[in-house]
Amino acid sequence: MGINWCSIFLAVLSLVWNQPQSPAQVARVPQKASEVVIDASAPAHPFPHFWEQMFGSGRAILSLRDSYRRDLRDVKQITGLEYVRFHAIFHDEVGVYDEDAQGHPQYNFTYVDQIYDGLLASGVRPFIELSFMPRKLAAQDVPHPFWYHPNVSPPKDWQRWDDLIAQFSKHLIERYGIDEVAQWYFEVWNEPNIDFWAGQPKQATYWELYDHTARALKQVSPRLRIGGPATAQAAWADAFIRHCVENKVPVDFVSTHVYGNDAAKDIFGTDETIPRDQMVCRAVRKVHDQIKSSAMPNLPLIWSEFNASYFNEPAVTDSIYMGPWLAGTIRQCDGLVDMMSYWTFSDVFEEQGVVKQPFYGGFGLIAEGGIPKPSYHAFKLLHHLGSERISVDSDSVLVTRRKDGSLVVAAWNLIPAEPTQAGFTKTIHLRFEHLAGSSRAYISSVDRDHGDAHPTYEKMGQPRYPTQDQLKALQQASQLPPPEIRELPHGELNLDLAPDGLAVIEIK
């Protein structure tokens, strides 16, 4: 049988033409531009910066470290940070509670003072999570799997728990004054609906814990703010409000948590697949609506933990994905929540043990060694958004106005959070109407080429223990360049957004 070389050549050529493109190749292919019309004189609604007023962090004792305090000051400089929340103020390593040889309670607030003095010196107030159980006050020894093994048992004696809460809060007032402490928040426990609470049945025994804590705190001063249930998976909020109303238990706010990769079954009782970039705000809306339909519809909603993932996923929390994910979350949650606490501001964090390398999928904005991540720069840029929001017809553009009338626009190109997922460059055509006089656009971006140390880290060979010189190089590589300045001919601007890119545009 003869060989048809022409057919073979054409077949090979076809295979070459149809080879899957690498992510870098695909990223260079722009999609058709979408137009967004922005009326600078349009009506707007208030846009408080609810996403940057509070941040979570590791357990209390870590706040005594110099690295923790440096990271805290850095995040304070670039955001509207007002409150920090951490676990385990009552952990034995803080030394608050002990008993003498006769079993009488003894209190020591030396480390508590150092912890809260440090926060206040950085211009930040505590959002106090009242947890976990001191070993000598615990009904049983129930260590949580976290590396530092907090005891999640109920107390052996409710009167002694009440006295601990009373002595703790009295000491804070004596040291800092009631006018100061009345501006703090007190939250009862952490995620009692899962393995952070060993009481059985969980809900009924948590109600008992909450009731004792709230009443003991309010007896010290009715000005102190108390709330809960601090649950995982947006759980129990409606039942919690009903319990407080029916039993006349003090409550000043509702708090709960959710993460982008939580399961719909746990949040909504459904088998649907909810995208990572929609889960948080769908859960926020659920609890918001529960509060509004309750007997206490004006209770503030404080989302005291959120992030795109509760796992260590380097391709998510360490990556440029966090820029568009955060911007989209802000857009969707606007108007539904009073305050949201990103988990966490720093990778000075030890729930899974001592940090082993700079990039491991930690939750923080700043990696080990003081290396800012793309999420750090996303918060930095989004801090520049204005105090009013103008509605536009787009799910990837956020338009705000400052008090001086100038506009600040965020635009992004979110790609599904999969390490192998390729993406396309996205072109957005912004057309501004009713701009006063000639204007310029100052464009800052977070993407693979701006604010991401990973390319430099990869060229280094991804050292597990970077040298001081390597750390300096990584810190330098992670910095954002100055904004790109463009004129706005006819009030129009074309933006090419790289995959998982975020741009913030200030119109001046």
Under a CB-based contact definition with an 8 Å cutoff, are residues 317 and 27 in contact?
no
How many other CB atoms sit within 10 Å of the CB of residue 19? 8
Of 191, 313, 368, 506, the active-site residue reads 191
Whether 124 and 30 share a structural domain: no
Whether 172 and 131 share a structural domain: yes
Whether 246 and 148 share a structural domain: yes
**Residue count of the chain:** 508
Under a CB-based contact definition with an 8 Å cutoff, are residues 148 and 353 in contact?
no
Report how far apart the first and last C-alpha atoms of the chain are (Å, whole number): 75
Rounded Cα gap, residues 320 and 431, in angstroms:
27
Q: Give the residue from 338, 362, 384 where a domain finishes.
A: 384
Indicate whether 400 belongs to any domain: yes
Indicate whether 367 belongs to any domain: yes
Q: Give the residue from 367, 384, 401 where a domain finishes.
A: 384
Q: How many structural domains is the chain composed of?
A: 2
| Segment-wise mean pLDDT, segments of 10 residues, the chain, 508 residues | 35 32 39 83 96 97 97 97 98 97 96 98 97 97 95 97 98 98 98 97 98 98 98 98 98 98 96 95 98 98 97 94 97 98 96 93 96 97 98 95 94 76 84 85 95 95 95 95 91 93 95
Rounded Cα gap, residues 232 and 260, in angstroms:
12
Indicate whether 418 belongs to any domain: yes
Q: Give the residue from 335, 368, 384 where a domain finishes.
A: 384
Count CA atoms closer than 13 A to 230's CA, side-chain side: 27
Whether 211 and 254 share a structural domain: yes
Q: Assign residue 263 the CATH number of its domain.
A: 3.20.20.80
Whether 55 and 82 share a structural domain: yes
Whether 301 and 372 share a structural domain: yes
Of 187, 305, 313, 506, the active-site residue reads 305
- Write out the residue range of the structural domain in which residue 499 sits: 21-45+391-507
Whether 378 and 422 share a structural domain: no
The verdict on whether 305 is a catalytic residue reads: yes
Whether 249 and 350 share a structural domain: yes
What does pTM read for this prediction? 0.90
pLDDT tens digits, residue range 346-399?
A: 999 999 999 999 999 999 999 999 999 999 999 999 999 999 999 999 999 999
Whether 421 and 335 share a structural domain: no
The verdict on whether 492 is a catalytic residue reads: no
